[in-house]
Structures are given as C-alpha cells and as structure tokens.
Amino acid sequence: MKKGTSLRGFSAYRLWSQLPSIEVSHLPDVIMFAAAIALFYGIARAGHSWFGPFTPTVEISRSVWALPAYAGYSLLRITIAYVLSLIFTLVYGYIAAYNSRAERFMIPLLDVLQSIPVLSFLPGVMLAMVALFPGRQLGLEMGAILLIFTGQVWNMAFSFYASLKSIPREMREAAAIYRFSWWQRFVQMELPFSAIGLVWNSMMSVAGGWFALMVCEMFVLGTRDFRLPGLGSYLQTAASEGDTISILWGVVTMILVIVLLDQFIWRPVIAWAEKFKVEQVESADVPQSWVLNLLQHSGGLARLRDKTFHPLGERLLLYFSRERKNEDNKRSSSAWRHWLVRAIILFGLVAIGYGVVRVAMILAGLRGAELHQVTLGLGATFLRVNLALLIGALWTIPAGVAIASNPRLARVAQPLAQIAASVPATALLPVILLVLIQIGGGLGLASIVVLLLGTQWYVLFNVIAGAMAIPTDLKECCSIFSIRGIARWKKLILPGIFPYLVTGLVTASGGAWNASIVAEYFHFKGHTYTITGLGATISQATDSGDFHLLLAATMMMAAMVVTINRLVWRKLYALAETRFRLET
C-alpha cells in the first residue's frame, strides 16, 4: 500500500467496517418507515379516486402493466373488509357465547347468512350504497367492500364463538377467583385462548376475499354495468374474453401478492400466536419467522410499545376494573340498558314482520314453473354440496394433521394451501370446463370440482389450527404409553381437533352453497354454460334483474340451511362443548 493513501484507506476501512452494525441495528426501523410511507401513498391515491365523482363505465385494461395498480386496489378493499370482519367477529361471537337467549337466534342466523351467496346480497347492498353516496365513487367502493365482508366474516365468527364455548372450566374458575373484570377476561383469557383458531380462520377469510373479488368488482344488475379497477375485474374480463394469457398473468400476480402476505403478515402472526398454546410442556418445534425476529429487534417499535401501547393498555385495564361507587347510578344505568334492549327488540320484531309480509306478497306472485325450477334446483345443489363436503373432508383431515405435526412440511404446505385457497375458482373454471368437456364430464363434473375448490380449504385450515392447538404434554403422554396409529387418532387427534373440525365443516357447507352461483352458471367466450341447480337460478335471476325469482331462490336456500343447522350442526356444537372440551 502506498504511503499517501494508507491513512485514507485505513479510515475508509474503519468506516466501512462500522456500516454493517449501524445498518443492521436500524434496519427494522428503516424498513417499517419506508413501508409506512408507501402505504400512506397508496391509501392517498386510492382515497383520491374513491372520493372523486362517480365513473359510470370503467374500462378494464388487460395490459400486464396495469396489474400492480389493480392488485393494490384489491388488496386495500380486502384489508378494509377484514378489519370490519374482525370487529364484527369479536362483538358477535362474544354476545352469542355468553347470552343464552341471544345464542338461540344468533347462531342459526349466522349459519344462514354465511350460506347465502354474494349475488343475493349484491343488489340490495350495492343499490343502497350507491344511493347513500350519490354522484361519488365511494358508494360503489363501499358496496364492494361490504360484499367482500360477507365472504370473509362468517367463518371467523364461528371460530371465535366455538373457542369461547370450549374454554376449560378451571381457567374460568381461576378468573372468577381473581375477580377479573370482563375486560381482563377478554384480553388475558378469552382472546389468547381463541388466538390460534382466529389466526388460521383469518387466513381463510382473506383467501375467501380473493375468491369473492371476481363477483364484487365487476357485475351486472339488469341494464346497469358496475365495474371497479382490480384483480377480480381483470380476471373476469379475461375469462369472459377467453384470454388465457391474461388469466395466467392475473393468477401469477395474485399468487405473488399472496406469497408476500404470507411472508410479511401470516407467518409472523402464526409464530407469535404459538405462545398462546395451552400446554404445560414447551413444544420443541415451533414456527419461526424472520420478519418477526426483525420486528422484535426494532428499537423504534419497542419505544412505541413502551410509550404508547403499554400505557394505553394499563389505562383501559384500570378503567374497566374500577368499581362503581354509586349503587343508585348502577341501578339506573341497568334499568336504562334494559329499556334500550326492549326498544331494540321491538324495533327488530316490527322490521321482521314487515319483511315477512313483503316477502309473502312477492312469493305469491311467482308462477308454478318458477317454483318447480327452484325446488328442483334445491335438490340438485343439495346433493352436489354434500358430495363436495364429503370428498373434501376425506383428504383435508389427514393432510391438516400431517401439516400441523411437521413444522418442515408446514413451512412449505402452508403458503401453497393459501395460494390454492385464494385463487378464484372462476379464474380456473374455463380451463377445468374445457378439459372436462373433452373427456365427457361437462359442467356436471366441473361444478363439483368448483364446489370442492370453494369448500375444502375451510376444513383444512381449521384442522391445522385444531391439530396445532393440541397440547405438547398430551402428545408426549401418548408417545410414552406407545399409543400410535388408529388408537392415537381415536384417543388424541380426533377428540383434540373435533371443535375445530365442526367449525370447518359448518363454514365449508356455507361456502359450498355460496360457490354454487359460479359452479352452476358460467359465461365463457360469449356462451353461457348452465346446469340445474339453485346457484344457477340465482345467477340467472341476477343477470335478468328478476328480483322475485332471486328472492324465492334465496329464501329456499335459507330454509334448507336452517333445517341442516337444527338437525346436524347444533348437535355437533353441543357435543364439542360438553364432551371434547380441553379440561381436567
């Protein structure tokens, strides 16, 4: 080394050697700051478009360069719908689990709502939102978000409700002994106990949101054509034109977004939720996430948590734990709430009575041929739904247990399952239909395949959550006593996953009824492929603007779902609550 450059070279070397430590220590903060700036910019751009004037006709470009913006719009709608779904889940599930009178009505209602196809919600929701925000694009966007909400929320609500009902008795007794307030019970017992099931059902809900995009972002109501820029409208446009290349580009973009979500959202959340597992022996193999490790070493996030979230949590804890000093105020407040509940119930009964009268008047105007079409379609769809449910359960139960029992397999299978669950069946239906027409199956076989694509993931994700929630000490106990094979399934695995399995089957059944609208009626290259079924009837009624037939088909579907709920699901929930609860 030359003399004139040795000092300068040595100083540069020292500075360069210090740079990695500086960068690594602040890397999480820099990444989060950059992500926050990008997120703010994206929301600002979307907000500018949403609050702008209403655009009656949006031209959906099939250019590859339009896909990033379309993916951003769709992801924002799904995120907002998920936040609304989570709030609804926590409130609805909590009330249903702890109010026995409300439970008798809320759970069957939830079962009915989750089985009603999106197209049945679509006319009322979309027209109401457009009327609520006249002349603004926001009305159409809010309508699409609410429709995505109807495709996400139900399995999350079922999961949270089932988790609350299966909390061990000794945990409740401990909370009563220590005189926990309702807030303490919620944040320290109920929410942690339900975390694993809620996380996996959240993943399934977001996958359901991607599934619903093709219906929510581009649809026809009579003579009115509603379109929103997004991945769903891109895929539907490509499918309608028979553009296979564009379909593939859209699916690849969706897969890329799902993989990024898995790495940056779901894998860290799964690794974080592992600490809420109820067990006395720590598991040797736990999920890992490089993003979670990065966040845990963030100094800025630690300061934000210490300065903001911890003080806020303590204030809420003190506020809800504080005893009422004035007993008279407590009694008057209780009386006021009692009269408010009575007023709400009275208003609800009046609204239901008015709705029943209006529905009866509409149904009375149906012709005999339409009633025959609805009845025949109900029977055909019922058979397809249950066949798809049986086929899905046969492979998802062993596969879900295998994935949950093997962390290495889970690291590979979990993102693959998310991708498979998120790709809309309508995007794959042209390929499925063409293949099956060539081999002679036609839409009859293709409809069952599409129903299977819309149902099996609910069972798989819930089985994975149930198998992961089985305590490690119980697994080790079975190993010590050499309980293997069929005996292990009978004594440990099936009882352990049973509450989760019931939730998966309930939501899968509703998903199958919902998926029938795309499985039994499909537009492709200017042709309409249809088969006898209730889903086809609903799709035809929506296309033609025949709201009377649409209402009749939806009511028939709701009646069938209520009957199944009474005869099957309610008894299985009672069995899971009484016999298969994890307690000593």
Q: Which pLDDT score, from 0 to 100, does residue 584 have?
A: 53
pLDDT digits (tens, 9 = 90+) for 263-313: 888 888 888 887 777 665 555 566 677 777 777 777 777 777 777 777 777
Whether residue 430 is predicted with pLDDT greater than 60 in this model: the reply is yes
pLDDT range class, residue 87, cuts 50, 70, 90: very high
Domains of the chain from N-terminus onward: 63-304+351-578 (1.10.3720.10)
Tens of pLDDT, residue by residue over 100-117, are 888 888 887 887 777 676
Which residues 6+ apart lie within 8 Å of 531 measured at CB? 380, 443, 444, 447, 520, 521
Share of the chain above pLDDT 90, in %: 5
Confidence label for 7 from pLDDT (cuts 50, 70 and 90) = very low
The predicted-structure confidence for 563-574, as pLDDT tens digits, reads as follows: 887 788 888 878
Query: What pLDDT sits at residue 6?
Result: 41
Residue 89's pLDDT is: 93
**Residue 385: how many other CB atoms lie within 10 Å:** 30
Tell whether the model's pLDDT for residue 88 goes beyond 90. Answer: yes
d(CA 278, CA 281): 9
Helix (DSSP H) and strand (DSSP E) numbers for the chain: 26, 4
Q: How confident is the model at residue 22 (pLDDT cuts 50, 70, 90)?
A: very low
- Output the pLDDT for position 413: 82
Task: Answer yes or no: are the C-beta atoms of 106 and 89 closer than 8 Å.
Answer: no
The Cα–Cα gap between 473 and 31 comes to 39
- Chain segment 320-354, per-residue pLDDT in tens: 765 444 444 444 455 566 676 667 777 767 776 76
CA distances in angstroms from 314 to 2, 86, 306, 311, listed in the order given: 63, 23, 11, 5
Average pLDDT over residues 465-476: 83
Angstrom distance (rounded) from CA 387 to CA 381: 10
What band does 426 get if pLDDT is binned at 50, 70 and 90?
low
> In sequence order, what DSSP letters do the residues of 492-503 get, joined into one string?
IIHHHHHHHHHH
Q: How confident is the model at residue 441 (pLDDT cuts 50, 70, 90)?
A: low
Share of the chain above pLDDT 70, in %: 75
pTM, rounded to two decimals: 0.72
CA separation for the pair 39, 27 (Å, rounded): 18
Q: What is the per-residue pLDDT across 485-515, written as a single tens digit (0 to 9) for each?
A: 888 888 888 888 888 888 888 888 877 887 7
Which residues are CB-contacts of 389 (< 8 A; sequence separation ≥ 6)? 455, 505, 508, 509, 512
For residue 574, give both structure tokens. Answer: 């009672």
pLDDT at 424 over 70: no
pLDDT band at 582 (very low <50, low <70, confident <90, very high): low
Determine whether 295 is exposed, middle or buried from the number of CB atoms within 10 Å of its CB (0-12, 13-18, 19+).
Answer: middle
421: confidence class by pLDDT, cuts 50, 70, 90? confident
State the pLDDT confidence band at 86, using cuts at 50, 70 and 90.
very high
Asked whether the predicted pLDDT for residue 365 surpasses 70, the reply is: no
Q: For position 84, what pLDDT does the model report?
A: 92
pLDDT number for residue 327: 43
pLDDT band, very low/low/confident/very high, at 394 (cuts 50, 70, 90): very high
Tokens 């911890």 — which residue?
A: 310
How many Å apart are CA 570 and CA 75, to the nearest integer?
35
For 552-562, the pLDDT digits (tens) are 888 788 778 77
Integer Cα distance of 514 and 151 in angstroms: 9
User: In whole numbers, what is the pLDDT of the chain averaged over residues?
Assistant: 76
Interhelix angle 3-50/67-98, nearest 10 degrees: 70
* Lowest-confidence pick of 5-14, 147-156, 196-205, 467-476: 5-14
User: CB neighbours of 241 closer than 8 A, spacing ≥ 6?
Assistant: 62, 525
Q: Give the residue carrying structure tokens 């598991």.
A: 283
- For residue range 516-527, list pLDDT tens digits in order: 877 787 766 667
Quote the pLDDT of residue 48: 64
Position with higher pLDDT, 255 vs 335: 255
